[in-house]
């Protein structure tokens, strides 16, 4: 069996962080008197860079930094823990690690917050490197995070990305890395397929089987 470098997205892939992110995003929109859509519509906040999604929902460019501060004031103390690992994820990571694969996290979530979440759920120990975004604008896209990860690891042979949105697919594709999409997250399956996902895993058990090939 070929040992792989497997890159995992965090929100919507490893943990179900929707409740906390949606609650904090709603607070940021309300801060500027903007309408707060229903939770189902707000699901798009999970995964993509926060700055872009806030502007999509009406936050003006000149107000984006303030909106992000409002979001993070609640998220770093409360929202970050309105979260839980998806069933079967811990077992999946343990099996992959036992097989000798190199496991990484590549998330557009700020790296400090990603570390807090993974430490809180005792998942950090499965990963060789946890790479995330910076709090400034220097590294806030999936492609940028993967570039940063590659700088630390050198060439990653037999690499594959695992994520739940089209942003994961296109970000990995910028580095020639194929993506397996997961159906349990917050992105749309049809969007991941259209972006070029090589397969869609319905469950963590299904993902394990796909990663054997």
- At 156 the pLDDT is 75
Beta-sheet pairing, 84-85 with 15-16: antiparallel
Domains 5-16+83-210 and 18-81 share a fold: no
Burial class of residue 21 in the structure, from the number of CB atoms within 10 Å of its CB (0-12 exposed, 13-18 middle, 19+ buried) = buried
pLDDT at 144: 95
Look at residues 145, 186, 137, 144 and name the one whose alpha carbon lies nearest to residue 166: 186
Q: Of 9, 11, 16, 164, which residue is the catalytic one?
A: 9
- Annotated catalytic, 40? no
**pTM of this prediction?**
0.90
Taking the alpha carbons of 191, 194, 198, 202 in that order, is the dihedral positive or negative? positive
* Tens digits of pLDDT across the chain (213 residues): 688 999 999 999 999 999 999 999 999 999 999 999 999 999 999 978 899 999 999 999 999 999 999 999 999 999 999 999 999 999 999 999 999 999 999 999 999 999 999 999 999 999 999 999 998 878 989 999 999 999 999 877 779 999 999 999 999 999 999 999 999 999 999 999 999 999 999 999 999 999 998
pLDDT score, position 213 = 83
- CATH superfamily for 18-81 is Putative phosphatase; domain 2 (1.10.150.240)
For domain 5-16+83-210, the CATH superfamily is HAD superfamily/HAD-like (3.40.50.1000)
The structural domains of the chain, with segments of one domain joined by +, span 5-16+83-210, 18-81
Rama region for 154: left / alpha / beta (φ>0; ψ in -120 to 50; rest) = left
């Amino acid at each position: 069996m070929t040992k792989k470098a497997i890159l995992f997205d965090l929100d919507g892939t490893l943990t179900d962080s929707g409740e906390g992110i949606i609650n904090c995003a709603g607070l940021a929109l309300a801060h500027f008197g903007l309408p707060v859509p229903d939770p189902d519509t707000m699901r798009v906040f999970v995964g993509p860079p926060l700055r872009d999604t806030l502007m999509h929902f009406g936050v003006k460019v000149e107000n984006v930094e303030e909106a992000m501060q409002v979001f993070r004031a609640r998220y770093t103390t409360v929202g970050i823990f309105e979260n839980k690992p998806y069933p079967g994820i811990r077992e999946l990571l343990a099996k992959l690690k036992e097989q000798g694969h190199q496991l990484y996290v590549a998330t557009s979530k700020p790296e400090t917050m990603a570390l807090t979440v993974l430490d809180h759920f005792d998942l950090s120990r499965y990963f060789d490197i946890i790479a995330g975004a910076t709090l400034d604008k220097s590294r806030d896209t999936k492609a940028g995070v993967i570039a940063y990860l590659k700088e630390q690891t050198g060439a990653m042979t037999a690499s594959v990305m695992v994520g739940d949105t089209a942003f994961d697919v296109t970000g990995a594709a910028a580095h020639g890395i194929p993506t397996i999409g997961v159906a349990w997250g917050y992105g749309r399956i049809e969007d991941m397929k259209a972006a070029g996902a090589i397969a869609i895993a319905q469950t963590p058990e299904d993902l394990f089987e796909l990663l054997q090939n």
